[in-house]
Structure 1
Amino acid sequence: MTTLDLEAQTTQNRSTLQRPVPGERLKLPLAPALEQRRLQCYVLLMAMDGLMIAASVLGVSSLLHTHVGSAIRQLSLLLPFYWIAALAFDAYSMQVLTSVRFSRRRALVSLVASFTTLIFLAFFAKASDQISRAELGGNFLACTMMLFMARTWVQPLITRRCGPTAQNVLILDDGGMPVRIPHAWHINARDHRLVPNCSDPHMLDRLAMFMTNMDRVLVSCPPERRMEWAMVLKGASISGEIIDQTVVSMGVLGARRINDTGSLVVSAGPLGIRGRAAKRLMDLAIAGGAVVFLAPLLLTVALLIYLEDRGPVFFMQQRQGRNNRLFWIFKFRSMRVAQLDTAGARSASKDDDRITRIGRFIRRTSIDELPQLLNVIRGDMSLVGPRPHALGSLAGSKRFWEVDPRYNQRHSLKPGLTGLAQVRGFRGATDTEAQLSGRLQADLEYLDGWTIWRDVQIMFATFTVLVHDRAF
């Protein structure tokens, strides 16, 4: 847990947390992550709905003394129909977690849809004469009452678990118009020395600590600083917004209204929870299996590196990852210990005198990158994504972010062991600005059209470029 001196009192009290006072220590992250809690509440609602429907159908069957087999057959169709309808009609959505009235209404709509589907199915299967109208009507009424009561009872539990808004909202005041939103964190950027400087990786890391676990971040700043904040938010893998009061009067598409305040939506995380879960499961399954399978090779290479000059086996370097956070990347050491470049200011060249004999081989065959499987297992990286660059890397004579202001958008996803740019041949040193531009364009294309099948295609394509003439 990171802490900073609280130099100025925040201006709004959150109902779920005590209001900090001057002189206290401000703990970062500001709020606990709510995404997993929301998912747990959705699962709870699904299970509770199923239990209430099952209890209603079986209870009506018992009261009417109908055959229990008929009730079970109805239940085996009704439950899947209800859950499908509930997912389609937002019966498990953010608004359900914050409004009991909306929750009951969505449950009722889903119940009507599922019973309607059941009746039509029975009609077309010519089995309607086997369904008692009294039993069907009783089931509907009982299910409605039980769902209404259950969703009312569970709402206080959901509120305690996820808070009154079920999301964490951060408002950064950087000298713009004053904005007050209930239950949001209000932070004065100047009091905490927060500056939208995309050229400073450590400042980006500091900003990312404030944004950690936030579902939405709103920035209120003067017009001349909006572009700088927009670039920071675009690389933060978060729903980011710039406050602009003119949005309300102009009715701009792609904007949001918060009470009487308008904001422009400038970024959103490229993957939803299901996409991130699928990507993470694939990363763990493949990376974990690869470490076990490649263990003899990894141990042999490590031994050869040590025997050549008795130096450390691994080379560790800070890189920028998802949400602009810094992390340590692992590689097999391929250069002499005394000439290691931890900042990455000098790119390796074809006749680089810093590279060892075993280092030249493992770089040419990409074996030096294999320890990054550990980064994948740790969660710093993914198997596929934009490659993380050294902080001091240059394209020609410029830093990467100086060549193209869109560069930091690459950080909205976890960096990858391989990526679309690499399989297209954009590898090795960036001697010119044009080489960076081609690499960046491929990375942005990957962010825009992610699918799990595309990740699989990129991984297979990577095997064709493991050995390449740009690996110095």
Structure 2
Amino acid sequence: MKEDSASRFSANAVRKFVDDEAAGKPQPVKLNKVAQQVAAQYRRDTTSPVMVSGVMRLVEFCLLFISGASLFAAYVGFDTRLLWHYPVIIGGTSLLTVILFEVSDLYQIPVLLRPLSKAGRLLVLWAGAFALLAVAGFFLKISSEFSRLLFGTWFVLGFLLVFGLRLVMAQLIRRWARNGSMERRAVLVGGGQAAETLIRALERQPYNDIRICGIFDDRDDRRSPPIVAGYPKLGNINELIEFARIARIDMLIVSLPIAAEKRVLSLLKKLWVLPVDIRLSAHSNQLQFRPRSYSFIGSVPMLDIFDKPINDWDSVAKRAFDIFFSLFGIIVFSPIMLATAIAIKLDSKGPVLFKQKRHGFNNEVIEVYKFRSMHADQSDPTAKKTVTKNDPRVTRVGRFIRKTSIDELPQFFNSLVGSLSLVGPRPHAVAAQSHNLLYNEVVDGYFARHRVKPGVTGWAQINGWRGEMDTDEKIRKRTEYDLDYIENWSLWFDLKILFLTPIRLLNTENAY
């Protein structure tokens, strides 16, 4: 019974609720002055604590390995018959030490803030790695062949370097926390007594990296006070969505009781389009679930509703993927791009490239590059009129490059600079319409596609949904495949889409 209750708030349950409700035509939303000022204050990106602790693991491994390798070069030299044995042993011991630190939770931010209190544990684990090394050498009967002076010196130097690094990092983390460079920014959804209780509980956490940026609530000031525990109510839920488009928010915490199921689902229906973690506070709820159902901020329990897709190290890996394959694509296709530019110039007057404003990550407006395929005086930067078969606006060269998707090749440069990803939901022009309706008016939850960076190619295109968007069904199917991609993203998935793209482009039936 308890697990069934928790599962009600899964992503699928929210999607079903979204699909079951009729989509109303969105109205323009404008933030009040206070909300605008607060949003502007949080425009700058922060460094994730997960990234800091991850980099710390890498730096400590490098520090231990480089110090050991330097001592090897100084004490033993490179003319020994054990030339490759020493680096392997030093590297293995360094890696084992980092693993021991990890399983002992020595990379948690609260631990990194208190290096003196954990110095003893650091020393014991470092000594443990050496003890395992000594035991292995004893049983393999090779310990006498290695320099005891080298490893004795490395034991002392390695500990001093790691401990010194942690003293420096503790000061840096405190400084980053003070100036807002390293924090998780949260907005509370729902005010009143429940929000005040949650805020007080969060404030009591001794090492809390959560910064509450404000409160949003649909209820009026009689039921939801304008100030709760010193934090202002900045607006309603529709205004929260606009606020999160401006401010770099990491988390939304819904401070409503689970028993208010209909109201919670109504809120999630609006909020799931945002690229943030969404948590439901379980601090004051009477229902109790299994411990694994919760995540925690300090000791405050939360139910995980949505996680920000492609976050932290996943985003680093995806960005590296984009840079590598974008450079590869630019090099490989540069002769085709050069020939296309010449053909466009010879075929019609006007610039070679066509720039169009489209929706990017989190609804930001980006400028996407394409080879110009229309007559310059008939180009449609807003894409209000869809290109159709035998469209007179399209040039002779334009028809060919559109059918073969050569017109999209300049987007390798968009991917290289970071406004696009190589793989992701295809970006649409900001004013693109179907039967005089904007796409987000046709598909409820359409903007959930923008929780990740848009791509040069995507899962929808691989499955045949490319070309003219002349029916509402095509828009819905594209959105469906895009959301499926976001939910199931992995680097292997990106690689699969990337290598299938040239094959699927051979089908030019819907490309005009």
Query: Which TM-score band (shorter chain)?
Result: 0.7 to 0.9
Correspondence for 1:187 among 198, 205, 214: 214
Shift of 1:377: 1.1
> Could you tell which deviates more after superposition, 220-229 or 286-295?
220-229
Closer, same or farther: CA 46–240 of 1 in aligned 2, 3 Å: farther
Amino acid across the alignment from 2:364: R
CA displacement, residues 163-185 of structure 1 (integer Å, 9 cap, x when unaligned): 27984232324552235344614
Contact 1:56/1:143, CA 8 A, preserved across alignment: no
Shift of 1:418: 0.9
Closer, same or farther: CA 134–37 of 1 in aligned 2, 3 Å: closer
Correspondence for 1:163 among 177, 192, 195: 177
Could you say which residue in structure 1 is the equivalent of 2:277? Answer: 239
Higher relative contact order (CA 8 A, sep 6+): 2
Correspondence for 1:373 among 367, 391, 412: 412
Asked if residue 469 in structure 1 is aligned to residue 504 in structure 2, the reply is no
Q: Structure 2: where are the runs of 5+ without partners?
A: 1-29, 76-81, 204-209, 218-231
Contact 2:48/2:184, CA 8 A, preserved across alignment: no
Pairs within 5 Å for 1:313-332: 313-332=352-371
Contact 1:345/1:394, CA 8 A, preserved across alignment: yes
Closer, same or farther: CA 146–57 of 1 in aligned 2, 3 Å: farther
Pairs within 5 Å for 1:59-78: 75=90, 77-78=92-93
Correspondence for 1:210 among 247, 252, 258: 247
CA distance in structure 2 between the partners assigned to 1:466 and 1:334 by the alignment: 18
Asked if residue 446 in structure 1 is aligned to residue 485 in structure 2, the reply is yes
Shift of 1:210: 0.7
Pairs within 5 Å for 1:17-36: 26-29=40-43, 32-34=46-48
Asked if residue 352 in structure 1 is aligned to residue 391 in structure 2, the reply is yes
CA distance in structure 1 between the partners assigned to 2:491 and 2:378 by the alignment: 40
CA distance in structure 2 between the partners assigned to 1:271 and 1:329 by the alignment: 22
Amino acid across the alignment from 1:373: F
Closer, same or farther: CA 325–5 of 1 in aligned 2, 3 Å: closer
Pairs within 5 Å for 1:120-135: 120-127=135-142
Closer, same or farther: CA 133–301 of 1 in aligned 2, 3 Å: closer
CA distance in structure 2 between the partners assigned to 1:75 and 1:135 by the alignment: 11
Shift of 1:364: 0.6
Closer, same or farther: CA 404–250 of 1 in aligned 2, 3 Å: farther
SS of 1:184's equivalent in the other structure is strand
Contact 2:244/2:274, CA 8 A, preserved across alignment: no
CA distance in structure 2 between the partners assigned to 1:408 and 1:82 by the alignment: 45
Amino acid across the alignment from 1:238: V
Shift of 1:401: 3.9
Q: Give aligned pairs, total.
A: 443
Shift of 1:415: 1.3
Identity percentage of aligned residues: 27
Correspondence for 1:419 among 437, 458, 469: 458
Shift of 1:278: 2.7
Asked if residue 154 in structure 1 is aligned to residue 194 in structure 2, the reply is no
Shift of 1:215: 4.2
CA displacement, residues 217-272 of structure 1 (integer Å, 9 cap, x when unaligned): 43557967654654565444333334465557433754444468654323223334
Contact 1:319/1:329, CA 8 A, preserved across alignment: yes
CA displacement, residues 35-56 of structure 1 (integer Å, 9 cap, x when unaligned): 6655554444444555788899
Correspondence for 1:294 among 317, 324, 333: 333
Contact 1:34/1:162, CA 8 A, preserved across alignment: no
CA distance in structure 1 between the partners assigned to 2:242 and 2:341 by the alignment: 32
Closer, same or farther: CA 296–149 of 1 in aligned 2, 3 Å: closer
CA displacement, residues 99-158 of structure 1 (integer Å, 9 cap, x when unaligned): 43785476457436524542452354244677999999x789958974785366334333
Shift of 1:365: 0.9
Q: Structure 1: where are the runs of 5+ without partners?
A: 11-22, 62-67
Shift of 1:463: 0.8
With normalisation by structure 1, the TM-score equals: 0.74
Correspondence for 1:250 among 276, 285, 288: 288
CA distance in structure 1 between the partners assigned to 2:39 and 2:460 by the alignment: 44
CA displacement, residues 329-382 of structure 1 (integer Å, 9 cap, x when unaligned): 122222334443333333222233332222211111101111111210110111
Contact 2:359/2:428, CA 8 A, preserved across alignment: yes
CA distance in structure 2 between the partners assigned to 1:343 and 1:192 by the alignment: 36
Could you say which residue in structure 2 is the equivalent of 1:341? Answer: 380
Correspondence for 1:100 among 107, 115, 124: 115
